Structures are given as C-alpha cells and as structure tokens.
Amino acid sequence: MSDAIAYSTIRELGARYRKRELSPVEVTRVLLARIEKLDPTLHAFVTLTADRALADARAAEELLRRGDDRPLLGIPVAHKDIYCTRGIRTTGGSALLADWIPEVESTCGRRWQDAGTVLLGKLITHEFAMGLQWPGHRFPPARNPWNVGHIPGGSSSGSGAALAAGLVHGATGSDTGGSIRGPAAFSGIVGLKPTYGRSSRAGVLTLSWTLDHTGPMARTVEDCALLMQPLAGHDPLDPASSRAPVDDYAAALGRDVRGVRVGVVRNYFFEGIDPEVERAFEEAMATLRRLGADVRDVQIPSLKATHSFLLILLAEAYAYHERDLREHPELYGDVLRERFQAGALVTGAEYVQAQRIRSEICRETAEVLQAVDVLATPTTPRPATSFTQAHDPDFGFPRSNMPPFNITGSPTLALPCGFSSSGLPLSLQLAGRPFEEATVLRMGHAYERATTWHTRRPPV
C-alpha cells in the first residue's frame, strides 16, 4: 500500500481523493512513515515539518468535502532548502544559515500553498546551490536511491532523491547551470527549467542573478505541468519576472506531435559522451520519429565558447556573497569558499566579454529555433558520478550539457530515456523557444507515454 500511494501520480491521487478512496491525511501519514524509514539512508530532508503537513492535509480534506476541484489540493510537496519558508528553518545547505528562520515566504512557496499543497518539509541542497557537496559541509549529502554510492545530482539533490524514493509527489528545484535537470537525470525523474522570468525567484537565495531559474520537479511530465501552472506568471517582487501570457500546460499535453520539428544539436553536446548515453538518446529519437516528429540535425557553432557561463556565474556569486565571505569565511566549506573567492578575480572586461559571447549564443540558438520547434540533446554526457569520484579534489567542474540553456534562458525539460548497464538512469533533454513551455512539455509527454522508463522504481 505504501508504494502504491508513494508512486501515484498527482492526477491519480486527486481522483482517489474525490472518490473518497484516500484522504490527504492518510497519504501524509503514509509518506511521513516512509520518510522515517528511508531518509536515514538517503538524507534527502534537512527539516521535516510533520505537524505542518498534517495541518495542511486536514485543511485540504475539508476543502475536498466542500467540492474544491483544484488539481494540487492535498498533494504532498517539499521545497529545496534555498526557498524561504516563513517560520521554518531555511539553511541554504550552509553553516552560515544553519539556524536561520525567515520571516518571509518565497513566491513559489506561497503559490503552491495557495494551490492547496501539503508541505512535508525542506530538502537538502548543495551549499548555496553551488556545484558539488564536498566533504566537511554542515549537512550530509543526499544519496541516489538507485545506488547510494552515487550522487543524485546537484544542487537540487534532496529534491531528486526524495522524488525517486517516493517520499514526496512534487518538489521545487533551482537551476543556475543544471540543478533541476541534473538531479532529474541522475535520479530518474522529470524536471522543468522554465523560461528565465517565467517562475519567480523572489524569496529564493541567489547564486547568479542572470542565470538563476526556479521550477518544479516530479516523477512524470504531467505532474510537472500541473506543478508548473501556479508558479507561472508575473511577480513584482522579482525584477526579472515576465508579463508574458501563461499557457494551460496540462491542456496541451494530449495534442499530437506529428510534424513537430525536433533539432538534434550535434556539436558540443556529444563531446566525451558515454556510449550508453548516446545509444539511449538515439533510441529516443527513433521513438519520436515513430510518433511522427520531424527529427533533424542542427548546429549552434558558438557553443564552443561556453566558458563564458563560468565567468558570469563566479563573478555574480562573489558579488552576492562578498560581505559574508569577508566577515565569516570560516562558515563556508573550504572548496566552495575558494571558488566563490575566485569570482573576485574576474575583471570587468572579462565579465563584459562573457556577456557578449552569451549574446551570440542566444542569437544563434534563436535562429535555430526558427527552423525547428524543439531542441533535443542528452541531458548529461554520462550517468550519475560516484561519490568517490565526485569528492576527488581534481574532479573540478566537469563539462555539462545543461548550462547552454541557462545562458539562453530557454525552457528546458529533462526526463528519463533509459538505464545504463549498471542500473543508473539516463535522461533526454528538450529545449524550446522562450515561454513555449507547453510545446516542450507536450513533446516530453508524448515520448513518456510511448515508453516505460518513468515507471521503474529504485531498489531502495
């Protein structure tokens, strides 16, 4: 019974609520017991809000009795621990904020709360949502439910692990260089990085002002679409927030994908790729062709200059953390402190040149997206890294397939497309034109319905 509830989709849970087969309180109790059993191994949660969850569930139960038909009513969720939660500890994964209790709620948190979700707690993040969680951090790293010796991705690591293990039905993530899509890829779930400015960042700890995105993570594309709906829309508290019209994301999912033009970006994304990842990706493209999509190769030449991403990230991260680095350097992890301080060495000229390169990448990507509707790549060049390799000081910043779409701000979806011979998830990445999340979700949903990868469950 626990597994059946834990791995239900949001639509399935809602239908059972309204048939009186399940109640939000019953589901919440099942998940709290599951967290108590599994999380001592997985370390997905940094703060569990059991009392709040049961109160939310009781309130949802009463609203269901009154006929409230909101799709997220009574759905158990949790937030990455860089999302401010009023009256609930928000650590940012750092000793600097280990006991901080905000007086404000993030806009995303408030919007999910207003939609009737049940808050189970806060999920571990890599320190200040940056890179990897190195040994010596204030909090233990989350572990991958498919193999606890491997990372679940970063920095929304707790979100990925909790969803894969059936501890929550939805989670927030943030994505500066892939931290929604990386955990989705490594944990075998679905993650949506919306268009820059589509989902508010107000009340979310900053890493890089011009690269940060907020968005939903779930186990299916439809769940992501349902979770994305209340997050989308203008927020005056976020200076980058857009007033662009918001689509009905779930309504677009069932539409045919015949004739949709899919561009496979062959340069950059296939450099150093694992053969099993490449094979799974090509099989995914074959599936899209069978569904009637027009799959063709495309090129974005300027992607060879993606080092601009790292210059922008480090300079902006240092600017945000400058005062705390000066006043409390001992409260930062050693590796993270050194990387943030490296941002002080980025000159104004280098930062401007990086932004100029970024503009060229954006221009070329936009031109390609006039000829195709969606871009397709492997989400990551290889399966999840082991902790042994990830904690090697020489591991550094591995090349990633995800930052190009932070540079462009394009809506980008990661979803399962296979498994390695060692049983680790593999992932497909789909990107689209600005504010065309509905198209990206529609294509991902069509692929998901034609395959069974998303139905597999980890051994934990």
Q: What is the mean pLDDT of each run of 10 residues along the chain (460 residues)?
A: 92 98 98 98 98 98 98 98 98 96 98 99 96 77 97 96 98 98 98 98 98 98 98 98 98 95 96 97 98 98 90 98 97 92 97 97 98 98 92 68 97 98 98 98 98 95
Q: What pLDDT is stored for residue 254 in this prediction?
A: 87
Asked whether the CA dihedral 124, 128, 133, 134 is positive or negative, the reply is: negative
Q: Write down the catalytic residue from 23, 94, 106, 155.
A: 155
Catalytic annotation present for 159? no
Q: Write down the catalytic residue from 157, 179, 199, 302.
A: 179
Q: What is the pTM of this model?
A: 0.98
Catalytic annotation present for 304? no
Q: What pLDDT is stored for residue 398 in this prediction?
A: 64
Q: What pLDDT is stored for residue 399 in this prediction?
A: 79
Q: Write down the catalytic residue from 80, 157, 308, 410.
A: 80
Is residue 454 within 8 Å of residue 224, measured between CB atoms? no
How many C-beta atoms surround the C-beta of residue 87 within 10 A? 11
Q: What pLDDT is stored for residue 306 in this prediction?
A: 83
Q: How far is 217 from 247, CA to CA, in rounded Å? A: 19
Cross-sheet strand order for the sheet of 374-378: 45-48, 118-123, 76-80, 170-174, 214-218, 190-193, 412-419, 425-432, 374-378, 261-265, 294-298
Q: How far is 22 from 25, CA to CA, in rounded Å? A: 8
Catalytic annotation present for 80? yes
Q: How far is 298 from 431, CA to CA, in rounded Å? A: 13
Q: What pLDDT is stored for residue 394 in this prediction?
A: 64
Q: What pLDDT is stored for residue 1 in this prediction?
A: 59
Give residue 92's region: left, alpha or beta (phi > 0; psi -120 to 50). left
Helices H / strands E in the chain, number of each: 15, 11
Q: Encoding tokens for residue 141?
A: 């790293």
